[in-house]
Amino acid sequence: MQNSLWLAGVEKLSLNKLSTSLNCDVCVVGGGLTGIYTAYLLAKKGLNVVLLEGNSSVGIATTGHSTGKLTPQHDAIFAKLIKTFSEEEARTYYDANVNAINNALQNISIDVSQKVDSYLYATTEQGKKQLDEEIEAYKRLKLPGNETTETELPFDVLSSIKLSNTSQIHPTNFALHYAKLAIKEGANIYVNSRVTKVVIDEKTVYVDDELEVSYNNLVLATHYPIEAVKGLQIAKLSIERSYLTATRTTELLKGQYLSVDTPSRTIRTALINNQPYFIYGGSSHKAGTIEETHSYYETLQNEVVSKFDLPEPEFLWSAQDPDTADSIPYVGPITDNESNVYIATGYRKWGLSNSLVAGEIISSAITKEKHAASDIYNPSRNQFGITMLRMLNLIGFTVANLADGYLTRMDAPKCTHLGCRTRWNDGDETWDCPCHGSRFDKNGNVIEGPAVYPLDLKS
Ligand SMILES: Cc1cc2nc3c(=O)[nH]c(=O)nc-3n(C[C@H](O)[C@H](O)[C@H](O)COP(=O)(O)OP(=O)(O)OC[C@H]3O[C@@H](n4cnc5c(N)ncnc54)[C@H](O)[C@@H]3O)c2cc1C
Each of the 459 residues of the chain gets a pLDDT tens digit; together they read 569 999 998 888 999 999 999 999 999 999 999 999 999 999 999 999 999 999 999 999 999 999 999 999 999 999 999 999 999 999 999 999 999 999 999 977 767 789 999 999 999 999 999 999 999 999 999 999 999 999 999 999 999 999 999 999 999 999 999 999 999 999 999 999 999 999 999 999 999 999 999 999 999 999 999 987 777 788 889 999 999 999 999 999 999 999 999 999 999 999 999 999 999 999 899 999 988 999 999 999 999 999 999 999 999 999 999 999 999 999 999 998 888 999 999 999 999 999 999 999 999 999 999 999 999 999 998 776 777 888 888 888 888 878 787 878 888 899 999 899 999 999 999 999 999 999 999 999 999 989 999 999 876
What is d(CA 282, CA 259) in angstroms, rounded to the nearest whole number?
9
Are 156 and 243 in the same domain? yes
What is the CB < 6 Å shell around ligand 1? 29-35, 52-55, 61-63, 66-69, 194-195, 221-223, 226, 242, 244, 319-321, 347, 349-353, 355, 449, 452
Claim to verify: residue 219 and residue 343 sit in the same structural domain: yes
Q: Does 88 fall in a domain?
A: no
Tell me, in angstroms, the distance from the centre of ligand 1 to residue 114's CA: 21
What number does the ligand 1 atom closest to the CA of 194 have? 42
Beta strand residue intervals within 63-210, DSSP E: 69-70, 113-122, 146-148, 159-169, 188-191, 195-199, 204-207
Looking at 6-72, which runs of residues are DSSP E strands? 16-17, 22-29, 49-52, 69-70
DSSP 327: S
Residue to mutate, 27, 98, 223, ligand 1, most ligand atoms under 8 Å from C-beta: 223
Quote the number of domains for the chain: 3
Residue 105 CA to ligand 1 centre (angstroms): 19
Please indicate, yes or no, if residue 351 is contained in any of the structural domains: yes
Cα separation, 232 vs 226, whole angstroms? 12
Residue 85: inside a domain, yes or no?
no
- Amino acid (1-letter code) at residue 203: K
Mark whether 267 and 299 lie in a shared domain. Answer: yes
Report the pLDDT value the prediction gives residue 216, as an integer from 0 to 100. Answer: 98
- pLDDT at residue number 336: 87
Ligand 1 probe mutation, 27, 342, 352, 432, most atoms within 8 A of CB: 352
Q: How far apart are the first and last CA of the chain?
A: 23
| CA-proximal residue: ligand 1, atom 41 (nearest) | 195
Could you give the CA distance from residue 338 to residue 199 in angstroms, rounded to a whole number? 12
Which helix (H) or strand (E) covers residue 323, if one does? Answer: strand 315-323
Residues 163 and 46 in one domain: no
pTM of this structure: 0.96
Say if residues 306 and 247 touch (Cβ distance below 8 Å): no
Residues 135 and 248 both lie in one domain: yes
Q: Residue 135 is part of which domain span?
A: 114-167+237-321
Q: 395 and 437 share a domain?
A: yes
- Ligand 1: atom nearest CA of 55 is 47
Rounded CA-CA distance 167/104 in Å is 11
Identity at 375, one-letter amino acid code: D
Tell how far the Cα of 196 is from the centroid of ligand 1, in angstroms. Answer: 19
At residue 459, the pLDDT reads 62
Ligand 1: nearest atom to the Cα of 30: 34
Q: Could you tell me if 251 and 310 lie in one domain?
A: yes
22 shares its domain with 150: no
- Do both 247 and 355 map to the same domain? no
Whether residues 124 and 162 share a domain: the answer is yes
How far apart, in whole angstroms, are the C-alpha atoms of residue 206 and residue 52?
10
Q: Are residues 245 and 366 in the same domain?
A: no
Best of 349, 377, 416, 445 for a ligand 1 pocket test (most atoms within 8 Å of beta carbon): 349
- Do 317 and 361 lie in a common domain? no
Q: CA–CA separation, 63 vs 117, rounded Å? A: 21
Instruction: Name the DSSP letter for residue 414.
Output: B
Distance from the alpha carbon of residue 347 to the mean position of ligand 1, in angstroms: 9
Tell which residue, 216, 237, 251, has the closest CA to residue 287: 237
Domain edge (last residue) among 362, 377, 392 = 377
